[in-house]
Structure 1
Amino acid sequence: MHILMIECNPNGMAGIANALDLGHDVTLVSVDPDFYLAASPLARGNYDHERCTVIKSEDAFDRDKLVALAREIHAERPVDGVTTYSEYHTVHTAAVAADLGLPGMDVEAALNARHKHRTRLTLEGTDIRQPRFAHVADPSGVADAVAEIGFPCVAKPSDGTASLHVQHLKDQDDLDAYLAELDRVEDYGRGVARIPDIVIEEFVEGELISVETCVLAGGEIVNLGLTDRPLSGFPHFIEMGATYFNDHPLREELFETTTKVLRHLGVDFGFLHTEYLLSEDGPVLCEVNGRLIGGIVPSLMEITSGADAYLEVIRQALGEKPELPFPGETIAGGHWFGAPVAGTVRGIDFTDVEGLPGYHSALAYKKPGTVVSRLSKSNFDWIGHVIFTGESREEVNKRCDSALDHIGLDMSIEVAR
């Protein structure tokens, strides 16, 4: 069968590889295919595969032009399924699937999940607990929105991802600096234009946790499991780890709330990732992502369940019923790490990590000679991860924390004179 992939993400290259291994044909449309070559060791093997076609298109983020391109691809070789692992391209994928008459999420529902202000406004007046918020369609209205919500607050672009440009603001100086920085951001790279909408929210304290879900064809909502998300980098919000599990005292409330959220938003298809802050008053909805969770979590899902979530996304796009990755008895988790200072990576050594109890795997994202920034602002500052297993969430997190002290990070640092 023929799969059309609208952009991807570096880890999602594993899904393309699996599809090729099963004998499917894959066409990847990307503004910058070389990005994946640099970010994923799987890309080169995929790109060279006889059944993989890579199309470089400057219009991959222009919905109308992308739909037209998809029609051309379909006319030349019928497309059987269209999908993406990219948060930036969930709406585009839904639009192409609808145009070609293929399985996919309703376009309006994809927009409701993709844009944070639409999520907030759609759920306003329902029984879903949200932070107090103000939506502004133009940066000139941010000051008034902050005055309405009050300090401390959180500012976030409506179409952001990976915690990029999400910041805690404690006073006017923070706000002025944030707006000056955001004013310089016209796009997110790879042709992804930024919309002007910004959401200002009250600051809610509490653990960040997410519900992983699959909405089957016909609209049946199946909540799969939970992912914890320890944060660092305050006043920014950087995800530093993840454990995929099922045993939590608020599990049923989180599952029930997620089902309500997705129904209110009209979500009718696909894998989803819904985040909550566990406040003193209960779970508060943080955001909804209309795609499979990213980072290392699909790998954690496979370790504990035996089901490859990357592959199941593709199978569902092809009209098949996916095998669902429910957490099993063995719990899997991982922690990301970054550089303590800006510099150039000379080497990352996991030798002392590999012998630790529960060790599963480790990966360095940066090759020797790569210039890196200090871990400070977003998930894009990560330079590697470790993955461990255990009998409980607590055991896994302790093992991951301990492993960070055993990583050998060799860097050269230019000292100012």
Structure 2
Amino acid sequence: MSHLLVIDLPGGNDTDILAAARNLGHKVSFLTADPAHYLAQSEVAHELADAAIIPVPGFELPGVIADLLERHADDPFAAVLCLQDLRIVESAKIAQALGLAHLNPRTATLARDKAAVRRHLEAKGLPQPPCLEADGPEALLAAVAAIGLPALIKPADGFGSQNVFALRHEADLDTLRQLADLVAAGPGHYGLGVAARGKMLVERLIEGQLVGLDTMTARGEHRLLGVNEKLMFAAPSFAMRGGCFIANAGQFAQLEASAFALLDAIGFDHGAAHIEMMLTRDGPVLVEINPRLVGARIARMVSAGLQRSIHADLIALHVEGQLPPPVDRAHYVTNRWLAAPCAGQLTHLDIPDTADEPASFTMMARVGDMVTPPLDNADRLGMAMTWGYERTLAETRAEQLLAETRMVVAPV
């Protein structure tokens, strides 16, 4: 049994890493600036029942590290695990102070600034789409004018496809001028005690097939686990409607080389990463590098595709420095997200039974919740997932599961 230090949870409610630690017999200490956020959710609180919760109001890092060093001396931690963008820099610095394997603080800091990543890669000889930072409405409008259409606006420290805006037509520019103050303000606060920095990134909008590449790295050695071909909801949404994760059995040599070159360029030395690329006629173009395991329950797709627990693999990576074994046959996992047709209250929900088939249905929303059509990933209600060695069958069944779902939203 190892002692794991887990720092916050992805989405503020995804307990899969805790379940994996429990199933492996590990002891967990859970570090957060906002324990009330987790304990107010009954299912999350249940998963945390056996964990030692370490509250750190304000998350002042010097004091946090001093406290953890004392705890480490009495009951040593074997690994620091953080699957949450908001605390990946702090987790890197904590792991460094404890002498534990983790992504290094310099790269963690770089990866949390999307504009800095673009500049860094350009300087390393890896061409990037034109981009500019903007601080305030006037700077935002000037940056958009300089980049030209089509353009994309997103927070420089954002995540989860939230607060992202696409500008394709002159009419979009008129709307931006009216809403420049609001857009430039960004998300303001991310929750869990973390405020947004307030800087927006304006870059050239790249069209093509969006893919996610999931990797693990052990002391500089990279492994591509698989590729997720993503589908989007209709514009102006930036939420993912679904996708197909394909386990890597050696069929992604070009993408693998591109991903590994990006990781090497930013000095990514240890941990999981989720890299998004746009496949264009001129080749793959980087969208962003996320220095943590893929979120939004998509890690369950990776587990199904690899036919083992990716969270258990992440624990082994940090505790033992061990990379997951390669697979010898491509396995397909399809997901489709349930979304509200209008804004209102979810008053009825009946989802299909998937107990006797290679499929699952995970709900995030509950009857009584206020819901809205999906502008970003946080607005999605639930996920149907299917898997097998035949891609077409998996995709067809995932669509059927959504069609068989009975949902009623009372408009407000």
1:166 and 2:164 aligned: yes
Q: Provide the C-alpha distance between the structure 2 equivalents of 1:382 and 1:39, rounded to a whole number of angstroms.
A: 18
Q: Deviations over 1:350-388 (max 9, x none)?
A: 13x6499x651102212221222x223210001111011
* Matched residue, 1:240: 241
Structure 1 Cα separation of the partners of residues 155 and 116 of structure 2? 12
Matches within 5 A, 1:286-301: 286-301=287-302
Residue 28 of structure 1: aligned partner: 30
Cα gap change, 1:261 to 1:308, in 2 (>3 Å): same
For 1:56, the aligned partner's letter is P
- The whole-number CA distance in structure 1 between the counterparts of 2:41 and 2:234 is 23
One-letter amino acid of the structure 2 residue matched with residue 190 of structure 1: L
1:375 to 367, 373, 380: 373
Q: Does 1:340 align with 2:320?
A: no
1:153 has 2:151 as partner: yes
Equivalence for 1:124: 122
| Distance in 1 of aligned mates of 2:242 and 2:109 | 28
Does residue 399 of structure 2 align to residue 411 of structure 1?
Answer: no
Relative to structure 1, the CA distance from residue 186 to residue 75 in structure 2 (aligned partners, 3 Å threshold; closer, same or farther) is farther
Question: Does residue 82 of structure 2 align to residue 80 of structure 1?
Answer: no
> What are the superposed Cα offsets for residues 186-226 of structure 1, whole Å, 9 maximum, x if unpaired?
21112111113221111111111011111112x11112210
Match of 2:320 in 1: 319
Q: 1: distance between equivalents of 2:299 and 2:190?
A: 24
How has the CA–CA distance of structure 1 residues 68 and 175 changed in structure 2, closer, same or farther, with 3 Å as cutoff? farther
Amino acid at match of 1:73: R
Deviation of the 1:12 alpha carbon = 4.3
1:282 corresponding residue in structure 2: 283
Contact kept in structure 1, 2:225 and 2:248, CA below 8 Å: no
Q: 1:396 to 1:312 in 2, by over 3 A?
A: same
SS of corresponding position for 1:188: strand
Q: Structure 1 residues 396 and 183 mapped into 2: Cα distance closer, same or farther (>3 Å)?
A: same
Q: Secondary structure at the match of 2:197?
A: coil
Residue identity matched to 1:87: D
Mapped to 1, the partners of 2:104 and 2:212 lie a distance apart of 22
- C-alpha spacing 1:330/1:376, structure 2 compared with 1 (3 Å): closer
The answer on 1:350 being equivalent to 2:351 is yes
With over 3 angstroms needed to count, the CA separation of the structure-2 counterparts of 1:129 and 1:402, relative to structure 1, is: farther
- The partner residue of 2:104 within 103, 106, 129 is 106
State the 1:158 CA deviation.
Answer: 0.8
Following superposition of structure 1 onto structure 2, how do residues 10-25 of structure 1 map, counting pairs within 5 Å? Answer: 12-25=14-27
Q: Which sections of structure 1, spanning at least 5 residues, go unmatched?
A: none
Distance 1:327 1:232, change over 3 A: farther
Does the CA-based 8 Å contact 2:361-2:384 persist in structure 1?
yes
One-letter amino acid of the counterpart of residue 197, structure 2: I
Q: Residue 133 of structure 1: which of 131, 134, 150 is its match?
A: 131
Corresponding residue number in structure 2 for 1:253: 254
Asked if 2 retains the 8 angstrom alpha-carbon contact of 1:365 and 1:383, the reply is yes
SS class of match (1:102) = coil
Alpha-carbon distance between aligned partners in 2 of 1:306 and 1:371, rounded to the nearest angstrom:
35
Paired residue total: 406
Q: How far, CA to CA, are the matches of 1:103 and 1:223 in structure 2? A: 20
Contact 2:223 2:323 in 1 (8 A): no
Deviation at 1:276, TM superposition (A): 0.5
Cα deviation for residue 308 of structure 1 reads 0.9
Percentage of pairs with the same residue: 27
Distance between the aligned counterparts of 1:156 and 1:45, measured in 2?
A: 35
Q: Deviation per CA, 1:388-412, whole angstroms, max 9, x where unpaired?
A: 1233434423332232221111233
| Other-structure match for 2:264 | 263
Counterpart CA distance in 1 for 2:369 and 2:398 is 25
Which residue is 1:188 aligned to?
Answer: 190
CA distance in 2, matches of 1:168, 1:40: 37
Partner residue of 1:220? 221
TM-score (norm: length of structure 1)? 0.89
Question: Counterpart in 2 of 1:55?
Answer: 54
Aligned partners of 1:380 and 1:63: how far apart in 2?
Answer: 29
> How many Å separate the matches in 2 of 1:262 and 1:48?
37
Letter in 2 for 1:186: G
The 3-state SS of whatever aligns with 1:229 is strand
What SS does the aligned partner of 1:26 have? strand
> Is the contact between residue 184 and residue 199 of structure 2 (CA under 8 Å) also seen in structure 1?
no
